[in-house]
Structure 1
Amino acid sequence: MNLPPSPVSLQRPGRLWLLALLFCAEVLALAVAYQFFAVIECHATDLNGVCRFLRSLVARAVVMFAAFGLLLWARPLALSAFRRSVEGQGAALVWRLLHVLGVLLLISPLAFAPGGNIGAVFDLAVWPLLLGSVLAAVGGLFWLAPPQAWARLLVQDHFAPVITLALAAVLPDLADMALPLWDWQGLTRLTFDAVHLFLGLFASDIRVDAPGYIIGFPQFSVHIARQCSGVEGVALVTGFTVLYAFIFRDTVRFPHFWLVVLPLAIMLSWLLNVVRVGGLILIGQYVSPDLAVNGFHSYAGWVFFTLLALAIVWGVQTVPWLHRARMSGPTTAGRLTEDPLAGALLPFAIFMGVSLLTHALFPHPELGYPLRAMALGLAIWAFRGFYRQFEWRVDPLAVALGGLVGLGWLWFDQADARAGMDLARALGGLSGWMLAIWIVTRLIGTVLLVPLVEEMFFRGYLLARLDGPAPWQRLLAVAVSSAAFAALHGRWLAAGVAGIIFALVMLRRGRVADAVIAHIAANLVVAAWAFATSDFARI
């Protein structure tokens, strides 16, 4: 079997959450793909408004996922009824196919855009992007639960989900609308002075150009414009605070909440923005200007403000003074680490999340590979009981086919020489023991950890879920799982062929462990070549 069976009490209660986790992983993968492998300058296209809307869909999806999770937490009875209504009802194949087709359409512009420049072909790319967004959303919605279950949930909860998701969806627009507030000279000056005071805690040679709002050091300084004011974070935190008040309106004490929590949330958002800007300047001065501009400036603010919003929501929920009555959340049967779907999905989601984090925190994202390996190792260790249920016997044919995949990967490699030089320069800046740690974790992660996590997701979950008794269903399952595998690796032909081979290896005996072993053999060949030639850009 591809995934070991588990009792219904363990698997059914987690189905909705695990599918939501899959959708979050897809959104994260799309964000990474379009952030690091594509170039889109909306102002240079003829459809600036449509382009900006499409670029905002990832942020909207993330906020809507979080808001819906908050809603389900606040309505345990409605959630319980929703689960009971869909228990035992598998999603119709048409919805799964629509969702997968939509995701593939969203990825497709990366395949035909020259050099990843989506803007150059945006008139053509806009159609698969728009159609893919609709199909992925509709298919995912009804994959999660049939239309009848959604209708009952909306009526039973007085259409609160629609209002909640609508409010969450417009948060990016509220952030744009709030941008003119940062043109108010008094507020801008207050932020500038606060950054100056923060930097004064760590250094004395601060360069200040008050009329131009430029602050920093002789070697690195920034202009505090409204684009880097952190208004998106303030809008996010404020929006989540208001959403919390709306969702928990039956238990929250509103005079206390509006007079204390909302002003505190806005103040904390502003203070966090001051720390963010000051931290960016300190990193640019003492660590790396590239890390400050290209990494920290772009991503860390989003991460920090999201964590702040969640921390405020958690803090409010734990203070009895802010509630008329305490509310207990729903209980779950069984441990998450015992759920086979979680074992297939959660480590992959962690892998994608930590990959994004390394792009945010390191001047060259590959320098953060030890962090990725550690996160993967912890995830695999947490689900070790699940992985032990598989039959881990070495199949000579799987090893042979995996070795051929590795040789083909090397033979058809057309890696950018500049990318290899950039990585070599980044590694050259490490000390001897740090370089040794990086090499060891890179080899362990590439050869052992990544094959296990990727195969459990692409073959153990995606291929197994789409597979069926009809030949066309099997063919579709192989094609879709291989195309998704290719999209993740950025080499459509080589990775697509590798995905097909790994799928056939699994289907030969119905054992995902065979696909894992073949993947390990392939990566071992590539890693051995990379280690022998010191060309780690190949893995």
Structure 2
Amino acid sequence: MNHSTSTKTIGARSTNNYRGLMILGVFLAELLSLVIVYQFFVTFECGDTDAFGTCRFLRSLVARSLVVFATFGILVWARPALFTGFAAASADHRGRGWMVMHMIGVALLWMPLILTGGVDIGTGFRSWTILWGLGSALGAIGGLFWIAAPRDWARVLSQDRFLPLIMLLIAAVVPDLADMILPIWDLGVITEATFAAVYEVLRLFSTQTYADAATYIIGIDDFAVHIARQCSGVEGMALVSAFVLFYGLLFRKDLRLGRYWLTVLPLGLAFSVVLNVIRIAVLILIGAYVSPELAVNGFHSYAGWMFFTLLALVLVYSIQKVNWLRHDHARHRTAPPLTTDPLAARILPFVVFMLTGILTQALFLFPPLGYPLIVLGLALAVWTFRHHYSSLPWGADPIAIGSGLAVGLFWVVLAEKGGDEASGIAMALATLPAALVAVWIALRVIGTVFLVPLVEEMFFRGYVMARLDRGGMVWRLIAIAVSTVLFAALHGRWAAAAIAGIVFALVMLRRGRVTDAVISHLVANATVAAAALITRDFSLI
């Protein structure tokens, strides 16, 4: 396959389909970063401020954004034809002014943290609300119109009798609906049933378990938590109800609505209750045996919203597979699966890589210990697109193997010996049982050697470099430079990573095969992993 031809094809398709997706990915990363920092590194409660109502509203913007993003994703999934023209219009829309507005808004959201260092930020809360409010408005408006022009948004939101607009407006007020039903947590039957179920789960792990539904306190051994309304998981019921409603509206012509409403909503609510019991039990076990700080943060409403949003998305996706709920004429009418899109296979696993990396930073006091979470996310993403990867031309190219070996040795030789990171990992692993250490090492090696090379090369060389390479020496040099800089920025040792990125780029360009770059990267990482196993210095990988 001619490289310039494949590059041109990738560039054209990505322009039409993925500009908006990439910008939405940026928004999601920004949102998660703000959530993590303001949840884990800024300690103040709305009750401690002089503007309780304003504080609660600003904090609710995170949950609102999560639900709106998820709803928009369902709309795109359920109405792919509706967004075809929207995607094309977005590809032709530059929106640089709107991008600047968005960036200014994001900067204003970070400003209170930068100016105070996160210390006593609640003391002058009223003055910071101006920055947060203005930043939220500029970030949201600038971001929306950075993706597409106002007229294009108006066109897509007015489709299907304004159903997309109605759904997004409902999504924006779901947190308010959740607040309205929070008092059900105080109903004795709900609290007692939840605490009894959690108690029985915890008894499987310890006899020193106690639960008092009257005071909302439950614990194991020396760790106990008070489960308030906002941390109880009641918001899961509101989310499930909203997403079941959205699915019913979108697929109303295909569904047997009687069966749907009588079965899906009750089962969804029951499912959310069961998973909430599991969530509470797991977090208490983490607090008792791993990290109290991690467990307490896991009860935070932000974590609950993320957890139950994912639950709701899994639920509505699963409904699509149940033919009993659908009319006969609709059983075989499904949208083309995303798994068949080669560009999605190059982009989305990398997005998963970034998001799981952010989550490990948030959920683990020592983030390297959370690497198994990254491996799980990457494994699921790679498995999702396995048919695309298996269809690519693979082969044991001597140049790819030799260059990978050289890069691996280069990385090991120039690595810092006995640094703080190596000491930190060694100390952290020393606190774990031997079996868990063995599992961690195995997953670290699997992720480093097999999953990371595939995901990174598909994105940096298979998408970014191919997207920028428009033919000719100048464009090719620009493509190599940009993809290499982005690749290096992802690694702590940016100089060594830049050299590795250039090597992988040249390996791909030699035959126009991204799989050659994957093999070179795999061999390099395997070399480094071998050195890490021999020296027991896992900071190398």
Q: Normalized against structure 2, the TM-score is what? A: 0.70
- Contact 2:36 / 2:362 at 8 angstroms: preserved in 1? no
Kindly tell me: are residues 150 and 455 of structure 1, through their superposed partners in 2, closer, same or farther at Cα, counting changes over 3 Å? same
Deviation at 1:173, TM superposition (A): 3.8
Which AA in structure 2 matches 1:458? Answer: F
- The equivalent residue for 2:330 is 327
Range with greater deviation from structure 2 (348-357 or 472-481): 472-481
Range with greater deviation from structure 2 (171-180 or 231-240): 171-180
Kindly tell me: are residues 230 and 110 of structure 1, through their superposed partners in 2, closer, same or farther at Cα, counting changes over 3 Å? same
- Contact 2:231 / 2:304 at 8 angstroms: preserved in 1? no
Residue 280 of structure 2: which of 266, 272, 277 is its match?
277
Deviation at 1:275, TM superposition (A): 3.5
Q: What's the RMSD between the two structures over aligned residues?
A: 5.6
- The equivalent residue for 1:506 is 505
Secondary structure class of the residue paired with 1:506:
helix
Residue 71 of structure 2: which of 67, 82, 98 is its match?
67
Task: Tell me whether 1:166 sits opposite 2:142 in the alignment.
Answer: no
Secondary structure class of the residue paired with 2:218:
strand
Give the alignment of 1:453-468 within 5 angstroms.
Answer: 453-465=455-467
Give the alignment of 1:332-347 within 5 angstroms.
Answer: 339-347=341-349
- The equivalent residue for 1:534 is 536
What is the percent sequence identity of the aligned residues? Answer: 40
- Contact 1:73 / 1:329 at 8 angstroms: preserved in 2? no
- The equivalent residue for 1:94 is 94
Deviation at 1:317, TM superposition (A): 5.3
Q: CA separation in 2, counterparts of 1:53 and 1:468? A: 47
Range with greater deviation from structure 2 (48-57 or 148-157): 48-57
CA distances 1:42-94 after superposition (whole Å, capped 9, x unpaired): 6589998888767655644443343234335555xxx43653x4798781262
- The equivalent residue for 2:444 is 442
Range with greater deviation from structure 2 (396-405 or 31-40): 396-405
- The equivalent residue for 2:242 is 239
Which AA in structure 2 matches 1:445? Answer: G
Range with greater deviation from structure 2 (91-100 or 110-119): 110-119
- The equivalent residue for 2:389 is 384
Range with greater deviation from structure 2 (444-453 or 428-437): 428-437
Count of residue pairs brought into register by the alignment: 521
- The equivalent residue for 1:221 is 224
Task: Tell me whether 1:394 sits opposite 2:395 in the alignment.
Answer: no
- The equivalent residue for 1:293 is 295
Q: CA separation in 2, counterparts of 1:107 and 1:499? A: 28
Q: CA separation in 1, counterparts of 2:291 and 2:331? A: 47
Kindly tell me: are residues 147 and 481 of structure 1, through their superposed partners in 2, closer, same or farther at Cα, counting changes over 3 Å? farther
- Contact 1:343 / 1:383 at 8 angstroms: preserved in 2? yes
- The equivalent residue for 1:137 is 144
Deviation at 1:226, TM superposition (A): 1.8
Deviation at 1:136, TM superposition (A): 3.6
Kindly tell me: are residues 295 and 384 of structure 1, through their superposed partners in 2, closer, same or farther at Cα, counting changes over 3 Å? farther
Q: CA separation in 2, counterparts of 1:105 and 1:516? A: 38
CA distances 1:477-528 after superposition (whole Å, capped 9, x unpaired): 7887567556655x5xx54894598369738985667876786687678657
Deviation at 1:192, TM superposition (A): 3.8
Which AA in structure 1 matches 2:393? Answer: R
Range with greater deviation from structure 2 (244-253 or 356-365): 356-365
Q: CA separation in 2, counterparts of 1:70 and 1:216? A: 38
- The equivalent residue for 1:5 is 6
Kindly tell me: are residues 51 and 157 of structure 1, through their superposed partners in 2, closer, same or farther at Cα, counting changes over 3 Å? same
Which AA in structure 1 matches 2:167? Answer: T
- Contact 2:411 / 2:496 at 8 angstroms: preserved in 1? no
- Is there any run of 5+ residues in structure 1 with no aligned partner, and where? none
Q: CA separation in 1, counterparts of 2:209 and 2:178? A: 31
Deviation at 1:159, TM superposition (A): 1.6
- Contact 1:283 / 1:289 at 8 angstroms: preserved in 2? yes
Secondary structure class of the residue paired with 1:91:
helix
Secondary structure class of the residue paired with 1:388:
coil
Kindly tell me: are residues 125 and 449 of structure 1, through their superposed partners in 2, closer, same or farther at Cα, counting changes over 3 Å? farther
Deviation at 1:131, TM superposition (A): 4.5
Which AA in structure 2 matches 1:220? Answer: F
Deviation at 1:230, TM superposition (A): 0.6
Deviation at 1:229, TM superposition (A): 0.6
Give the alignment of 1:106-505 within 5 angstroms.
Answer: 106=106, 117=117, 131-140=138-147, 142=148, 151-183=154-186, 187-189=190-192, 191-196=194-199, 199=202, 205-209=208-212, 211-250=214-253, 261-285=264-288, 287-290=289-292, 293=295, 297=299, 305-306=308-309, 308-310=311-313, 312-313=315-316, 327-328=330-331, 330-331=333-334, 339-352=341-354, 354-355=356-357, 365-370=367-372, 372-373=374-375, 376=378, 379=382, 382-385=387-390, 387-388=392-393, 394=399, 406=411, 410=415, 417=420, 421-430=423-432, 435-436=437-438, 438-447=440-449, 449-465=451-467, 485=487, 488-489=490-491, 495=494, 498=497, 502=501
Deviation at 1:341, TM superposition (A): 0.9
Which AA in structure 1 matches 2:501? Answer: F
Q: CA separation in 2, counterparts of 1:477 and 1:218? A: 57
Kindly tell me: are residues 73 and 450 of structure 1, through their superposed partners in 2, closer, same or farther at Cα, counting changes over 3 Å? closer
Deviation at 1:461, TM superposition (A): 1.9
Secondary structure class of the residue paired with 2:94:
helix
Q: Normalized against structure 1, the TM-score is what? A: 0.70
